[in-house]
């Protein structure tokens, strides 16, 4: 189920940020060369999902998780039309992370568990009108606070990165997080340590993606030095059956670039794990650009440039934001949030632009919508998406 290769063969320099946040500045342009979409295997969800499309069809709705500056208990969950970006529902659910689960229209939600340092997993299913059903708890509690999450095709394997809840340990050292691989049915967890959270001089692991069978995990990240600054950026691959250890010991760097190069913002594996789509961000102060391209997992070789998104420079005072791409079930469509601009006056509601890319035809549609305003408290400064 490999993806069709394009004609371009030069390797792009790229890199990855240490946190999951959205790119501020870019506007979509034109359309991309089409390529054959690899099929993603799915299984039926545990409950009715009347909004689920046929395999390979565009889902009717996507979910976004709106992050705000200073928020510690999770982002604001929203459901939006895949056609227009119109808000279908905004349930009173705070989510640390969200990922598609088993069938289109069903999602895994990570939320803080009580007052302790733990995360609980929940399942929600959308109705035909895009309204989420009740939260259904599943799986064991996860140690720490989940930062990013990915699932395999049938929801049997969940990969996540988690951070400790304190900024320093009893010895005064900055604690490291870890990458976990959860077997949902067995409740077993494999842990891969030394994930940089507070500048611990290891590997940051932001955007996560699993192959359809749950055997291969890809993540965009950076090797960090003193104070958490990036020394080298890249995309790593990890066999989920690897013995427990650190990411440096068990992961394989498949694509690398210097710290000063463009940012490899997020990576999505093809269902068979043979390739991955990567959003590569050039943070120019005059002409910032997001480039989405497909690479081989075996060699890191560029297969095809999928889309180039270009736009304006972020407003003064805004943190740099990067594009967290998401793939639909069936792997035909990509969503790429790429542009965010906040109001300068109350209610400080940010406007977001998202590119919807048809990988079969190369057509690019642009969605634009506003995030919730805050009146100045905890201003929305990014989002992640799940399809």
**pLDDT at site 124:** 96
- Give me the mean pLDDT over the 13-34 stretch: 37
- Confidence class for position 383, pLDDT limits 50, 70, 90: confident
Integer Cα distance of 307 and 314 in angstroms: 21
Residue 132's φ and ψ, nearest 5 degrees, are: -65, 140
**pLDDT at site 367:** 96
With tokens 């996540």, the residue in question is 160
Lowest-confidence segment of 10-14, 128-132, 216-220, 295-299 by average pLDDT: 10-14
With tokens 């070789």, the residue in question is 301
Which SS3 state, helix, strand or coil, does residue 250 take? helix
Query: How do residues 190-246 score in pLDDT, each as one tens digit?
Result: 999 877 655 555 777 778 999 999 999 999 888 877 666 777 888 999 999 999 888
Which two tokens mark 288?
Answer: 């910032």
- Confidence class for position 13, pLDDT limits 50, 70, 90: very low
CB 298 within 8 A of CB 257: no
Q: Which residues pair with 127 in a beta bridge?
A: none
Closest CA to 40 of 366, 363, 326, 337: 326
Lowest-confidence segment of 105-119, 293-307, 316-330 by average pLDDT: 316-330
**pLDDT at site 41:** 32
Which SS3 state, helix, strand or coil, does residue 100 take? strand
DSSP per-residue string spanning 153-218: TTSSEEEEEEE-SSSS-TTSPPPPEEEEEEETTT--EEEEEEE-SSSBSSEEEEEEEE-TTS-EEE
Query: How do residues 98-154 score in pLDDT, each as one tens digit?
Result: 999 987 899 999 999 987 789 999 999 999 999 999 999 999 999 999 989 999 999
Closest CA to 96 of 115, 73, 125, 64: 73
Integer Cα distance of 366 and 191 in angstroms: 39
CB 187 within 8 A of CB 232: no
CA angle 153/148/141 to nearest 5° reads: 80
With tokens 């069938």, the residue in question is 103
Query: How do residues 327-360 score in pLDDT, each as one tens digit?
Result: 998 889 999 998 887 777 777 778 889 999 999 9
Q: Does the pLDDT at position 9 exceed 50? A: no
- The yes/no answer on whether domain 27-47+59-386 falls in CATH 2.120.10.30 is yes
């Amino acid at each position: 189920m490999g993806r069709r290769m394009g004609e371009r063969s030069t390797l792009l320099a790229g890199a990855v940020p240490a946190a999951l946040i959205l790119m501020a500045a870019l506007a979509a342009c034109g359309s991309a060369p089409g390529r054959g979409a690899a099929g993603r295997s799915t299984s039926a969800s545990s409950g009715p999902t009347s909004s689920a499309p046929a395999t390979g069809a565009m889902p009717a709705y996507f979910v976004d998780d709106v992050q705000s500056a200073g928020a510690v208990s999770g982002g604001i969950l929203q459901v939006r039309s895949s056609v227009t970006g119109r808000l279908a529902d905004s349930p009173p659910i705070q989510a640390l992370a969200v990922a598609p689960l088993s069938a289109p229209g069903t999602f895994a939600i990570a939320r803080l568990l009580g007052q302790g340092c733990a995360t609980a997993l929940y399942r929600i299913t959308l109705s035909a009108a895009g309204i989420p059903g009740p939260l259904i708890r599943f799986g064991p509690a996860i140690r720490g606070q989940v930062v990013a999450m990915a699932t395999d095709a049938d929801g049997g394997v969940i990969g996540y990165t988690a951070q400790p809840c304190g900024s320093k340990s009893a010895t005064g050292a900055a604690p490291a997080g870890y990458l976990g691989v959860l077997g949902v049915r067995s409740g077993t967890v494999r842990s891969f340590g030394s994930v940089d959270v507070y500048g611990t001089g290891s590997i940051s692991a932001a955007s996560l993606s699993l192959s359809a069978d749950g055997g291969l995990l890809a993540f965009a990240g950076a090797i960090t030095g003193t104070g958490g600054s990036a020394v080298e950026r890249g995309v790593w691959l990890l066999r989920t059956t690897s013995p427990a250890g650190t990411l440096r010991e068990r992961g394989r760097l498949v694509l690398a670039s210097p710290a000063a190069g463009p940012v490899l913002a997020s990576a999505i594996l093809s269902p068979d794990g043979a390739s991955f789509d990567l959003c590569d961000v050039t943070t120019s102060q005059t002409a910032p650009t997001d480039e989405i391209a497909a690479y081989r997992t075996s060699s890191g070789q560029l297969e095809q440039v999928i889309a180039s998104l270009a736009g304006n420079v972020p407003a003064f005072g805004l943190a740099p934001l990067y594009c967290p791409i998401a793939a639909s079930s069936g792997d035909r469509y990509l969503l790429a949030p790429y542009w965010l601009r906040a109001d300068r006056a109350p209610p400080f509601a940010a406007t977001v632009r998202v590119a919807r890319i048809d990988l079969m035809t190369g057509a690019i549609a642009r969605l634009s919508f506003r995030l919730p305003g805050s009146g100045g408290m905890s201003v929305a400064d990014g989002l992640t998406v799940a399809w």
